[in-house]
Structure 1
Amino acid sequence: MDVSSGQPRPVTSVVNWDLFEKAVVVLLLATLAMRLIPSAMATGHYQNWLVFFSESCVVFFVLFRRSTTSISRRPLDWALGFGGTFAPLLVIGAGDTPLVPLAACVFLIVAGMLFQLYAKFTLRRSFGVIAANRGVKVSGPYNLVRHPMYAGYMLTHIGFLLSGPNWWNLGVYALALALNIARLLAEERVLMADPAYQDMCRRVRYRLVPYLF
């Protein structure tokens, strides 16, 4: 069913949109590889490899996720989904002067990466970029916040930014955070049609940051 209209959606149309989403995500990762890998090889900044690996996981889970008949076709939801995914891929390599000790930066990067991977492996084939219902998960990190993947992204982005700050990456990550907040609200609009998600919202109060949002 089309969540926004309540009318049946042709299966062929859903498959085409699903394939289009996968193709775009693969293309976006390729653009990141062309920036971060040469920078990592030239400078030896291993945090670049960590961030590339973190973003690569998005492609893996998108390619092997299950299909859905409940994906939003609202243009704004697609813009938010691709925007939230695309924005972090615009970063450039970290600079040479960390704002805090590099060990602390790496800790944040790795902690965020592990947390979002924990969320992805909990979702497994229910992962997606565009607002859709591919099955509600209520275990693991979803007992802490309702959108643990975005929380993990935020930690990784903060760590990478602190490891070699520049104004470009600050702007990119600020944009990514704004888009992902709007994106998770769009996802909740779709998921709220599912009683299982309504029950989850009653149990897990915070969306992204405990005691804050």
Structure 2
Amino acid sequence: MASTRSTATAMVRDRMLTPGYCCWSGGGVGRRPDAAHRAVPDADYAARLAPLKPPPRERDWWACVMLNPRPHAHPATELRKRSPTSTSSPGTFPCCQKWNAQAVIIPQQTRELIGRSAMTFFFTVCATLKANSVYTSLADATWQARDVIALASGIAGLGFLLLIVATTIARLPPKRSADGFQPRMVALIGAFATTTFIALPPVEVAPAIALLADIIVLIGCSLSICCLAWLGRSFSVMAQARQLVTAGPYRLSRHPLYACEAVMLAGIILRNPSWLALGIATIALCFQYLRIRNEEAVLRSVFPEYASYAEQTPMLLPGLATRRKATQQLQPQ
């Protein structure tokens, strides 16, 4: 059976490579039509075919047909124009026509609506769970200093989640988004990796450490609310450019929201110290840095003034750009 199949394959291949045969727009193989049915005259056909090299033979031809799902036809097989009724591209083979369908492209407005709806639903669920936690803490509070700080921290976290929902619903349409799979995956991991903390078992810590952790979380949440309020309708999880914000906290740092979220994350780690929590936080911070780089690449491509803004403003911590510029001025030329 194998020898019969190889013999038949060789016969078909040699038949197709015969000078009088080539592939036409319908994907089939056959002898050139006569002059009455041919769109290109013989002289023109011969003139266009003369400078071309012969079609690839043996292994190259076989790899083109069997290994490439969308084979690039030899130029000699593409001389005949595509007919209006043809459904396949010139030079394609029948066995590969099922891969020739055009890819489905989702419009930008549809993708934006899907992303906005998914984010709104997710953060609404998170805000609902946080509200339930705050209500429970309020009912069980003894109104000591530690309980008051913990309650204020929970309320600040709830306010931050509600503000995310509001800005997601009212945000502006993007002017440009980062292309490719990597920026989207980096944004998702960086933004939602810390949500796995809710699955970690609670850890008992000293009351003083718990109080310090709640204070740090309260400061981080409060500053995050301030930064998000200034960012407003330009907020996005993905690497997208909507509107360049350089006022308020963004006058001191290019990404103050990420810096404040890092402060909040430090308080959460201090409240639940474990190697697993520390590993999750490290992964989240690494992806947040990649997320920053992707966002800046998009902003630089859309807003020409972002380059001068980046030279004068540090990435995360305020004051670093001024110190770096002063150090460069003090260095001997």
Q: Residue in 1 aligned with 2:108? A: 14
1:198 aligns with 2:327: no
1:166 aligns with 2:260: no
The answer to whether the 8 A contact 1:91-1:168 is kept is: no
Alpha-carbon shift at residue 36 of structure 1 (Å)? 6.0
Alpha-carbon shift at residue 113 of structure 1 (Å)? 1.2
1:65 aligns with 2:159: no
Q: Residue in 1 aligned with 2:233? A: 125
**Length-normalised TM-score, structure 1:** 0.79
Identity within the alignment, %: 21
Distance 1:117 1:102 in 2: 22
User: How do 1:21-36 and structure 2 match up within 5 A?
Assistant: 21-29=115-123, 32=126
Query: Which has a greater percent of helix?
Result: 1
- Higher RCO, 1 or 2 (CA under 8 Å, sep at least 6)? 1
Picking from 316, 320, 328, the partner of 1:208 is 316
1:150 aligns with 2:258: yes
Q: How many correspondences in the alignment?
A: 201
Distance 1:123 1:29 in 2: 18
Picking from 187, 193, 197, the partner of 1:91 is 197
Q: Residue in 2 aligned with 1:81? A: 187
Larger CA deviation: 13-22 vs 136-145: 13-22
**RMSD in angstroms over aligned alpha carbons?**
2.9
Alpha-carbon shift at residue 157 of structure 1 (Å)? 0.7
Structure with larger Rg: 2
Distance 1:24 1:98 in 2: 39
Distance 1:119 1:55 in 2: 13
Larger CA deviation: 58-67 vs 41-50: 41-50
The answer to whether the 8 A contact 2:127-2:161 is kept is: no
Larger CA deviation: 107-116 vs 178-187: 107-116
Distance 1:64 1:90 in 2: 27
Aligned to 2:175, the other structure's residue is in SS state coil
Q: Residue in 2 aligned with 1:9? A: none
Structure 2: give runs of 5+ residues left out of the alignment.
Answer: 1-105, 142-149, 325-333
The answer to whether the 8 A contact 1:61-1:127 is kept is: yes
Distance 2:286 2:161 in 1: 18
Distance 1:132 1:208, change over 3 A: same
The answer to whether the 8 A contact 2:159-2:225 is kept is: no
Alpha-carbon shift at residue 23 of structure 1 (Å)? 3.0
Alpha-carbon shift at residue 56 of structure 1 (Å)? 4.4
The answer to whether the 8 A contact 1:98-1:162 is kept is: no
Distance 1:100 1:198, change over 3 A: farther
The answer to whether the 8 A contact 2:171-2:235 is kept is: yes
Distance 1:38 1:114, change over 3 A: closer
